[in-house]
Amino acid sequence: MYKLTEIEGGVCAANGFYADGVSAGLKADMAKDMAFIYSEKKCEIASIFTTNKMAAAPIRHCKAKGEFQTNFVLINSKNANAMTGNAGVEDINEILATLPANIENPVMSSTGVIGVRIPKDKIIAGAKLFDLTKKDADAAAQAIMTTDTFSKQIAYKIELEDGSSFHIGAMAKGAGMINPAMATMLCFITTDANIAKEEMQAALNKNVQTTFNAASVDGDTSTNDTVLLLSNAKSGAYHAEAFEKALHKIMLFLAREMVRDGEGATKLVTYNVSGAKSDAEAEIVAKALSNSLLVKTALYGQDPNWGRIASTVGASGAYAVEEKLTISFNDICVYKKGELFFDEAMEKKASKVMQLNTFTISCDLGIAEGKFTSFGCDLGYEYVKINADYRT
């Protein structure tokens, strides 16, 4: 047995981890734009990076290291260091070479505009402001924000039966969860669990499928997406099932928070797809729904337009049959296996669900047992405003 308790402290909740955010003048108004995560002990690292073929320089730099341990991650917002080629990687090496001697094998993570060389001198000057004894997870979480409207952090304490305990903490940024040119999804998770490197990577890989990879703001996969899990083993404690459970809670929470804070989003919608030919086909349908412009604009208009849901299911490519499909908005069933019963009274009930900030749209394909759950948001005027005006 074990006990999970949500606690404060974000990436500093695990023993031996330090973090802070400072201003290097990359953002206007001296807002925080650089952060670090530092560990007293060198950490094992598990990582997941973007599948975008134009992967940014920090990702190329990190991947080139192969297997490695580190005690330091440097993060900046406002500039993605993407499409900057080998020069971008050299910039990172120059920046990291200026860090203090007790920092070993540091890596970098960037988010912001694509196609502009990183302002090396500002970053180097900014890093000199870092105080490695600080445990200000809030400041770090703020510094990595771009168009995010709130910072995203969470931490758990896991108490085991033998009286030992360990912690997992995390911070993330999103806005355009998957959003080239500016936002970029970044997530940093720290733990003092005494976990083997292979188990870290396995747990990360497994949980990313149902959390970050199930979330979409705009369907565009960034050049900079990064999830890093750092473990310094300082607690000496570990419990596989408890770790896995806490990690899933953390990643699911942050993935949902990212969508809730999606650019211009006013609604967080869960798409529960079941009854598909396979889990893979259910995933195709769930992602088609969370990415459909017509579904997203109907959400924004609070219009229980189930015809668009049905049409998107049909267009997704997955096997589906009109006479077997059932669609519900929360517990209000709006279409059932060929029966048309969506009258004015039903519409009123369904409209009430659509007015909520958070609700679930369920599609039972009625074919077999395949299921998948995805997370999406609406698309309104504010999304257009943010993305039409971004660079100017």
CB of residue 275 to a copy of itself, shortest distance in Å: 14
Count of residues binding a copy of itself (CB under 8 A)?
A: 68
Q: Which of 3, 117, 128, 348 binds a copy of itself (CB under 8 A)?
A: 117
Query: Given the complex with a copy of itself, which of 83 and 103 has the nearer CB atom?
Result: 83
Q: Which of 25, 119, 307, 366 binds a copy of itself (CB under 8 A)?
A: 307
**Which of 218, 225, 188 lies closest to 82, judged by CA?**
225
Check binding of 303 to a copy of itself (CB under 8 A). yes
Residue 115 makes contact with a copy of itself by CB under 8 A: yes
3-state secondary structure 217-280: CCCCCCCCCEEEEEECCCCCCCCHHHHHHHHHHHHHHHHHHHHHCCCCCCCEEEEEEEEECCHH
140: alpha, beta or left, given left = phi > 0 and alpha = psi -120 to 50? alpha
Residues 36, 75: Cα–Cα separation, whole Å: 6
CB closer to a copy of itself out of 250 and 318: 318
Least Cα distance to 211 among 152, 139, 165 occurs for 152
Q: What token pair was written down for 384?
A: 């257009």
**Candidate ranges 12-20, 46-54, 99-107, 185-193; the one touching a copy of itself (CB under 8 A):** 46-54
Q: Does 114 bind a copy of itself (CB under 8 A)?
A: yes
Q: How far apart are CA 136 and CA 141, in angstroms?
A: 9
Q: Does 300 bind a copy of itself (CB under 8 A)?
A: yes
**Residue of 53, 163, 241, 331 interacting with a copy of itself (CB under 8 A):** 53
Region 152-191 residues binding a copy of itself, contact defined as CB under 8 A: 176, 179-181
Strands 332-336 and 358-364: unpaired
Three-state DSSP state, 146:
coil
Q: From the candidates 50, 146, 184, 211, which is the catalytic residue? A: 184
Residue from 197, 342, 349, 356 binding a copy of itself (CB under 8 A) = 342
Binding range to a copy of itself, per CB under 8 A, among 64-72, 145-153, 273-281, 300-308: 300-308
Nearest to a copy of itself of 166, 306 (CB atom)? 306
Is 345 near a copy of itself (CB under 8 A)?
A: no
Tokens 């047995």 correspond to 1
Residue 83 makes contact with a copy of itself by CB under 8 A? yes
Nearest-approach distance from CB 95 to a copy of itself, in angstroms: 18
Is 257 a binder of a copy of itself (CB under 8 A)? no
| Whether residue 184 lies in the annotated active site | yes
Alpha-carbon distance of 142 to 77, in angstroms, equals 10
Which residue bears the tokens 């330090």?
18
3-state secondary structure of 299: helix
Both tokens assigned to 116: 């502009």
**Residue 330 C-beta: closest distance to a copy of itself, Å:** 19
- Provide the minimum distance between the beta carbon of 300 and a copy of itself in the complex, in angstroms, as a whole number: 5
Tell me the three-class secondary structure of 306-362, residue by residue.
HHHHHHHHHHCCCCCCHHHCEEEECCEEEEECCECCCCHHHHHHHHHHHCCCEEEEE
The DSSP H or E segment spanning 363 is: strand 358-364
Catalytic residue numbers, as ranges: 184
Q: Which residues bind a copy of itself (CB under 8 A)?
A: 51-55, 80, 82-87, 113-117, 176, 179-181, 218-223, 292-294, 297-298, 300-301, 303, 305-308, 310-315, 318-323, 325, 335, 338, 340, 342, 379-381, 383-385, 387-392
